[in-house]
């Protein structure tokens, strides 16, 4: 197997996630050349440059490099709350659904769930979940939003909806956190800058190792005071890294070179969706494919069986329910790969 994961003629097309990308040769060169120091002591110039660059891109005072998106979100949650507080979060949100129970285990907060449509909820949903200040109730502190929304199918929040949710939250004295693991994709899809989305929030987490293709890393941004508090919780959670400049260099390279190309991943996802929607036994709304994520249902056949058959044919995808499959496009999937994948999907779905 070579660096891009191909095995000669039998390249496996890996559509399980946009986390599977390998660093490109140019990214590896940037990593090798990185100036480093001990970042826990504040001495790593490349980490500092990444933090300044990310804060500026998102229009916030400060940023903190993080080993993972999960740590970034959960440190934010801890920094915004005290144990026993309540947060309002959408039922399919990554922070609630896919982060191993961390809100309860690490921050000690109660999650009050809001039901959105494709992950998107309204100010009225917030108002309905609020309770009066009373000794019986856990105080509500924070509203969490995810953009793009992973389990929502890569959906992009309309700015008007964000603004309405933020206004409602502010009226009630609540803080706002954005899980923007794929905020870059939201911007690539809508054409609106990341800092516009970030402007509604007290804190934002972004990921460098998803669509941007860095091997490791996320960042949390917010006010100087908030990031200073978050820095202590990052250390407490075991996320203080030493010569992390080698990783920050990959993230900087990704920010500079891999952001503009996200539109290609979106076009590839749309193309694949169009092909898949045509196949027998597939339920898929092509017009809901806004970014690099697509979900489809296979009501007549178990998803696990299809996933196994696709794997044997050379295409990797994930079953995320008894009859639902998730497919992602990314940096290591070319238009040609999409055409090949579409052909293999057809082969598997039309065979009995
Ligand atoms: C992937 C992801 C994260 C963080 O994931 P890590 O694997 O911990 O880096 C957070 N939020 C969303 C929406 C994600 O898709």
202: phi then psi, degrees, rounded to nearest 5: -80, -35
* Residues 325 and 298: beta-carbon distance below 8 Å: yes
Query: Ligand 1 centroid to 299 CA: how many Å?
Result: 28
Looking at the predicted structure, is the pLDDT value of residue 38 above 60? yes
* Residues 140 and 176: beta-carbon distance below 8 Å: no
Q: How confident is the model at residue 11 (pLDDT cuts 50, 70, 90)?
A: confident
**Number of C-alpha atoms within 13 angstroms, CB side, residue 121?**
25
Angstrom distances, CA of residue 279 to CA of 99, 201, 299, 323, 348:
34, 41, 13, 15, 10
pTM of the complete model: 0.96
Confidence at residue 74, expressed as pLDDT on a 0 to 100 scale: 98
Query: Ligand 1 centroid to 144 CA: how many Å?
Result: 14
Confidence at residue 2, expressed as pLDDT on a 0 to 100 scale: 43
Query: Ligand 1 centroid to 280 CA: how many Å?
Result: 32
Angstrom distances, CA of residue 37 to CA of 30, 58, 61, 91:
16, 25, 23, 41
Q: How confident is the model at residue 352 (pLDDT cuts 50, 70, 90)?
A: confident
pLDDT tens digits along 209-232: 999 999 999 999 999 999 999 999
Determine the average pLDDT of the residues in 84-111.
Answer: 98
What distance in Å separates the CA atoms of residue 283 and residue 9, rounded to the nearest whole number? Answer: 31
* Residues 331 and 185: beta-carbon distance below 8 Å: no
99 lines ligand 1 (CB under 6 A): no
Task: Please report the domains of the chain, with CATH numbers, ordered by start residue.
Answer: 8-23+261-349 (3.90.1150.10), 34-257 (3.40.640.10)
Q: Choose which residue among 101, 103, 150, 330 to substitute to test ligand 1 binding: the one with the highest number of ligand atoms within 8 A of its C-beta.
A: 150
150 lines ligand 1 (CB under 6 A): yes
Q: Choose which residue among 21, 98, 197, 237 to substitute to test ligand 1 binding: the one with the highest number of ligand atoms within 8 A of its C-beta.
A: 98
Looking at the predicted structure, is the pLDDT value of residue 7 above 60? no
Confidence at residue 157, expressed as pLDDT on a 0 to 100 scale: 98
Percent of the chain with pLDDT over 70: 97
Q: What is the mean pLDDT of the chain?
A: 96
Confidence at residue 5, expressed as pLDDT on a 0 to 100 scale: 45
Confidence at residue 105, expressed as pLDDT on a 0 to 100 scale: 98
Residue with the nearest Cα to atom 3 of ligand 1? 69
The neighbouring-strand residues paired with 178 are: 145, 204
94 lines ligand 1 (CB under 6 A): yes
Other CB atoms closer than 10 Å to residue 291's CB: what's the count? 28
What distance in Å separates the CA atoms of residue 260 and residue 264, rounded to the nearest whole number? Answer: 9
181 lines ligand 1 (CB under 6 A): yes
Which distant-in-sequence residues (6+ apart) come within 8 Å of 148 by Cβ? 154, 155, 156, 157, 182, 183, 185, 186, 189, 290, 291, 293
pLDDT tens digits along 299-316: 999 999 999 999 999 999
Pairing of strands 203-207, 175-180: parallel
What distance in Å separates the CA atoms of residue 47 and residue 248, rounded to the nearest whole number? Answer: 5
Other CB atoms closer than 10 Å to residue 42's CB: what's the count? 10
pLDDT tens digits along 273-302: 999 999 999 999 999 999 999 999 999 999
Q: How confident is the model at residue 9 (pLDDT cuts 50, 70, 90)?
A: low
Query: Ligand 1 centroid to 239 CA: how many Å?
Result: 16
Residue with the nearest Cα to atom 5 of ligand 1? 69
Looking at the predicted structure, is the pLDDT value of residue 330 above 60? yes
């Amino acid at each position: 197997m070579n660096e891009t994961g191909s095995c000669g003629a039998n390249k496996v097309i890996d559509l399980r996630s946009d986390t599977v990308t390998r660093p490109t040769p140019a990214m590896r060169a940037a990593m090798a050349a990185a100036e480093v120091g001990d970042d826990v002591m504040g001495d790593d110039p490349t980490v500092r440059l990444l933090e300044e660059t990310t804060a500026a891109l998102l229009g916030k005072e400060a940023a903190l490099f993080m080993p993972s998106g999960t740590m970034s979100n959960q440190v934010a949650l801890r920094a915004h709350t005290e144990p026993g507080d309540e947060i309002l979060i959408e039922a399919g949100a990554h922070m609630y659904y896919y982060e191993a129970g961390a809100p309860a285990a690490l921050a000690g907060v109660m999650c009050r769930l809001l039901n959105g449509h494709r992950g998107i909820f309204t100010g009225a949903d917030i108002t309905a979940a609020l309770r009066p200040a009373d000794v019986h109730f856990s105080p509500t502190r924070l509203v969490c939003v995810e953009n793009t929304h992973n389990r929502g199918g890569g959906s992009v929040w309309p700015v008007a909806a964000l603004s309405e949710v933020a206004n409602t939250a502010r009226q009630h004295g609540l803080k706002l956190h954005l899980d923007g693991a794929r905020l870059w994709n939201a911007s690539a899809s809508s054409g609106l800058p990341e800092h516009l989305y970030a402007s509604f929030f007290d804190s934002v987490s972004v990921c460098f190792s998803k669509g941007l293709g860095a091997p490791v890393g996320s960042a949390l941004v917010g006010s100087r005071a908030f990031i200073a508090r978050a820095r202590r919780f990052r250390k407490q959670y075991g996320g203080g890294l030493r010569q992390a400049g080698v990783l920050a260099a990959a993230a900087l390279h990704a920010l500079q070179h891999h952001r503009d190309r996200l539109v290609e991943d979106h076009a590839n996802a749309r193309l694949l969706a169009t092909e898949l929607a045509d196949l027998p036994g597939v339920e898929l709304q092509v017009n809901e494919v806004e970014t690099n994520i697509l979900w489809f249902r296979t009501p007549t056949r178990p998803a696990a069986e299809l996933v196994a058959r696709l794997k044997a044919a050379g295409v990797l995808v994930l079953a995320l329910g008894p009859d639902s499959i998730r497919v992602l496009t990314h940096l290591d999937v070319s238009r040609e790969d999409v055409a090949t994948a579409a052909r293999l999907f057809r082969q598997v779905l039309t065979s009995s």
